[in-house]
C-alpha cells in the first residue's frame, strides 16, 4: 500500500458513520476485500436446548445476528441437540421466544439432529479412509490412555483394527446391538499431540436414549466435535463464532472439515460476558432454582432473559449494553452498574411517570377543605411531549414517603420537616406544622398547611422551595405489592468463597424485599403485566404477571440514581470519623 492510498483511506474512515472497531468485524471486512466467500456472510447461533438463555447468550446472539445484519448476511438458529439426555423441547421453545424477544429473526431454523444421517455417512467415510476406529476400551481406560497435560497418550489396543472390522462394529453400534458405554467410535489422529483434543477424540458414543426430535431412531449420538463443524459446513456458514474455551477445539474442527473435504467454515473465538454480582453458569443457575433460592428460572433476580424480562428490562437496553461492552479476547468482568445504566437510559426515554408511595406516611392538610377533591394535571413524561398528561386526584389526606419527612432534619436535608415548606409534585406548596406519634414515639401523621395560591406547584410570588416530593391521595390510593430487588449476591465475584463453602454463602439475604402495602395513584389499578413505569423519584417498575385486577404487583427494575443517599452516606462517614478521632 502506498502512503497516498493510506491517507485517502484514513480520510474515508473518518466519515461520521464510523463505529468502534472489533476483531470480528475486521475479519469480515478483510474477507470481503479479498472476496474470500464471494461477499457472503453466513452466521449461526447454536445453543444446546438444555436450559434457558441468559445475558451471556445475549452477547453471542447480538454478535451473530448483529454482524450478519451489518453486512447484509444471514443467520441461522441451530439447536446443537447431540446429547438427548440433557435436552428438551421446553428449552427449544423458550430459546426461540427469547431470541425473538431480543428483536432478532433467524433465516434458517435447523437442528444438528437434522444432520444425523449425513454425519453417520461421514463417519463411515472416515473409517474407510483409515481415519476412524471403534474402540472397546471403557471410559476409564480411555481416560488413562489419553495421558495428561504433561505426558503423551498411548495408543489403544484397538487403534489398528482393520477397516472391515471397524465398519462391521460401527454398523452394529448403529443397529443397537451393544450396551451404553461398551464402545465408541474415535478419530485416529495423534495420541502424542500437546492438544488433548487431538488425542483420538471420541466421535460417537452409544446412548440408548430417546431424543426429543428423533425419538428412538438412534442408539448412537455424535459428539459436539463431530457435529458442530460439519453442521456449520452443511449450512455454508462462513463465520462460526464461539466463546474462548473452544479455541483448543479449532484444530479438530478444521481436521474433520479437511478430512471430509467439505465447505470450510471457520471458527473464531471471542470472550464470554461476565458481570459483577452475577453467575452465568447454567449448572449453578439450575441449583438456585432447584434449591428454591429463587422462584424459578424467570425470577426477576436471575440473569436469564426470562428473568430480566420479568424484572422490566427492555430488549433495547440489553442490546445497547452488549454493544457498549464490546468484544475482545480478554477475560474481563463488566460492572453490573453498566447494565443498569443502559436500562435507565432506555426507560428514561419511554417509561410513563407515575406517583407511588412505597412506605406511606399520612399527611393531613389542616386548612384544606374536608371533602374537596381536585384533579391535578400531571405530565406523563417530561422527556417526551407526545406522552401527554393525566389527572391525579388531590385531597386533604395524602400519603408521602416516610423518607421524605424528618422531625430532626440532618444537614443538607431538603425535604419536609417541621416549619419547612416543600412542593407536592403537581400539587401545592405545603408547610409542616406538627406531628402525631404512636406509643413507640414514631411519627405516624404529619399535619401541614397549604398555600392555595400555589396550585399546580407554581408560586405566583416567585418564591422557591428546595424540594419537590411525590404523594398519593389517601382516599384514592390503590394498594399494591411492590417487590424491591437488590443484587442476588453480596460479593462482586459470587464464586469467590472461603475454603469449605460454595457460592450460596454469598447469597444476599435481602435480595428480595416485598412491600405489601404500597400506595399507588389510581391510574395504576389495572396495569397490564409487563407494563413499565417510572415511579417518580424512586425508580423504574414493571407490572408482574402475579398482578390481579385492582391489586397490582410491581417489580422494581432498577432504582433511580440517588444523590441524597450518597450525601447522607458521606455525612455518616464524617460524623463517625469525628466520633472515633
Sheet of 539-543, strand order: 353-354, 532-535, 539-543, 553-559, 478-485, 512-520, 356-357
Q: Which cell numbers in the block locate residue 206?
A: 452409544
Closest to 96 (Cα-Cα) out of 116, 110, 83: 110
* Residue 442 designated active-site: no
Quick one: 161 or 205, whose CB is closer to RNA? 205
CA 191 to chain centre: 41
- Write down the catalytic residue from 86, 272, 286, 505: 272
Least distance to RNA from the beta carbon of 281, Å?
10
Quick one: 287 or 341, whose CB is closer to RNA? 341
Provide the 8-state DSSP code for 296: S
Least distance to RNA from the beta carbon of 399, Å?
16
CA distances 430 to 81, 240, 399, 425, Å, are: 65, 64, 13, 11
Give the contacts of 274 (CB within 8 A, at least 6 positions apart). Answer: 56, 280, 331, 332, 333, 334
Quick one: 106 or 299, whose CB is closer to RNA? 106
Least distance to RNA from the beta carbon of 262, Å?
19
DSSP result, 308-358: HHHHT--HHHHHHHHHHH---SS---B-HHHHHHHHHHHHHHHPPEE-EES
CB 285 within 8 A of CB 257: no
* Residue 282 designated active-site: yes
13 sits in which H/E element: helix 3-13
Least distance to RNA from the beta carbon of 384, Å?
10
Cα distance between residue 9 and residue 15, in whole Å: 10
Least distance to RNA from the beta carbon of 38, Å?
23
Quick one: 179 or 545, whose CB is closer to RNA? 179
* Residue 566 designated active-site: no
DSSP β-ladder status, 74-79 and 42-45: parallel
Provide the 8-state DSSP code for 304: B
Quick one: 10 or 371, whose CB is closer to RNA? 10
CB 359 within 8 A of CB 394: no
Quick one: 170 or 221, whose CB is closer to RNA? 221
Neighbour tally for 51: CB within 10 Å? 22
Least distance to RNA from the beta carbon of 470, Å?
7
Number of H helices, E strands in the chain: 14, 25
- Write down the catalytic residue from 48, 269, 421, 521: 48
Quick one: 512 or 567, whose CB is closer to RNA? 567
Closest to 122 (Cα-Cα) out of 263, 264, 261, 265: 261
- Write down the catalytic residue from 282, 310, 415, 420: 282
Least distance to RNA from the beta carbon of 135, Å?
7
Residues with catalytic roles: 48, 272, 282
Amino acid at each position: 500500500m502506498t502512503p497516498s492510498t493510506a491517507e485517502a483511506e484514513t480520510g474515508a474512515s473518518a466519515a461520521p458513520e464510523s463505529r468502534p472497531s472489533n476483531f470480528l468485524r475486521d475479519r469480515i471486512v478483510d474477507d470481503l476485500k479479498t472476496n474470500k466467500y464471494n461477499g457472503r456472510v453466513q452466521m449461526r447461533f447454536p445453543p444446546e436446548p438444555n436450559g434457558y438463555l441468559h445475558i451471556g447468550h445475549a452477547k453471542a446472539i447480538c454478535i451473530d445476528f448483529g454482524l450478519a445484519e451489518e453486512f447484509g448476511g444471514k443467520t441461522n438458529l441451530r439447536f446443537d441437540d447431540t446429547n438427548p439426555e440433557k435436552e428438551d423441547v421446553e428449552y427449544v421453545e423458550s430459546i426461540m421466544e427469547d431470541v425473538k424477544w431480543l428483536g432478532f429473526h433467524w433465516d434458517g431454523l435447523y437442528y444438528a439432529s437434522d444432520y444425523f444421517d449425513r454425519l453417520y455417512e461421514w463417519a463411515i467415510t472416515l473409517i474407510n479412509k483409515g481415519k476412524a476406529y471403534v474402540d472397546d476400551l471403557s471410559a476409564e481406560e480411555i481416560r488413562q490412555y489419553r495421558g495428561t497435560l504433561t505426558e503423551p497418550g498411548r495408543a489403544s489396543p484397538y487403534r489398528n483394527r482393520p477397516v472391515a472390522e471397524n465398519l462391521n462394529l460401527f454398523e452394529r453400534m448403529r443397529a443397537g446391538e451393544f450396551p451404553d458405554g461398551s464402545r465408541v467410535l474415535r478419530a485416529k489422529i495423534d495420541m502424542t499431540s500437546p492438544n488433548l483434543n487431538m488425542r483420538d477424540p471420541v466421535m460417537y458414543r452409544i446412548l440408548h436414549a430417546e431424543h426429543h426430535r428423533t425419538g428412538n431412531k438412534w442408539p448412537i449420538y455424535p459428539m459436539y466435535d463431530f457435529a458442530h463443524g460439519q453442521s456449520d459446513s452443511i449450512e455454508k456458514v462462513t463465520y462460526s463464532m464461539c466463546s474462548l474455551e473452544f479455541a483448543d477445539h479449532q484444530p479438530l474442527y478444521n481436521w474433520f472439515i479437511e478430512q471430509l473435504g467439505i465447505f470450510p467454515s471457520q471458527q473464531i473465538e471471542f470472550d464470554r460476558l461476565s458481570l459483577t454480582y452475577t453467575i452465568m453458569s447454567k449448572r449453578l443457575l439450575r441449583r438456585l432454582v432447584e434449591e428454591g433460592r429463587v422462584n424459578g428460572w424467570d425470577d426477576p433476580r436471575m440473569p436469564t432473559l426470562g428473568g430480566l424480562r420479568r424484572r422490566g428490562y427492555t430488549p433495547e437496553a440489553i442490546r445497547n449494553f452488549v454493544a457498549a461492552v464490546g468484544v475482545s479476547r480478554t477475560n474481563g468482568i463488566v460492572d453490573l452498574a453498566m447494565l443498569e445504566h443502559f436500562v435507565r437510559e432506555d426507560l428514561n426515554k419511554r417509561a410513563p411517570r407515575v406517583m407511588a408511595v412505597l412506605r406511606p406516611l399520612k399527611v393531613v392538610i389542616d386548612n384544606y377543605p374536608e371533602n374537596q377533591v381536585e384533579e391535578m394535571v400531571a405530565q406523563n413524561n417530561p422527556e417526551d411531549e407526545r406522552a401527554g398528561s393525566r389527572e391525579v386526584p388531590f385531597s386533604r389526606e395524602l400519603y408521602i414517603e416516610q423518607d421524605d419527612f424528618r422531625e430532626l432534619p440532618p444537614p443538607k436535608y431538603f425535604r419536609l420537616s417541621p416549619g419547612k415548606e416543600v412542593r407536592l409534585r403537581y400539587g401545592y406548596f405545603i408547610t409542616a406544622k406538627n406531628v402525631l406519634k404512636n406509643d413507640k414515639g414514631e411519627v405516624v401523621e404529619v399535619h401541614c398547611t397549604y398555600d392555595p395560591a400555589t396550585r399546580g406547584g407554581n408560586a405566583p410570588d416567585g418564591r422557591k422551595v428546595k424540594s419537590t416530593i411525590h404523594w398519593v391521595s389517601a382516599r384514592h390510593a390503590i394498594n399494591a405489592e411492590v417487590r424491591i430487588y437488590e443484587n442476588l449476591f453480596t460479593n462482586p465475584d459470587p464464586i469467590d468463597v472461603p475454603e469449605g463453602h460454595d457460592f450460596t454463602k454469598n447469597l444476599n439475604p435481602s435480595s428480595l424485599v416485598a412491600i405489601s402495602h404500597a400506595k399507588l395513584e389510581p391510574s395504576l389499578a389495572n396495569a397490564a403485566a409487563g407494563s413499565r413505569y417510572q415511579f417518580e423519584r424512586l425508580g423504574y417498575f414493571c407490572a408482574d404477571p402475579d398482578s390481579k385486577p385492582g391489586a397490582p404487583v410491581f417489580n422494581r427494575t432498577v432504582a433511580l440514581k440517588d444523590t441524597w443517599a450518597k450525601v447522607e452516606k458521606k455525612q455518616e462517614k464524617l460524623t463517625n470519623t469525628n466520633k472515633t478521632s
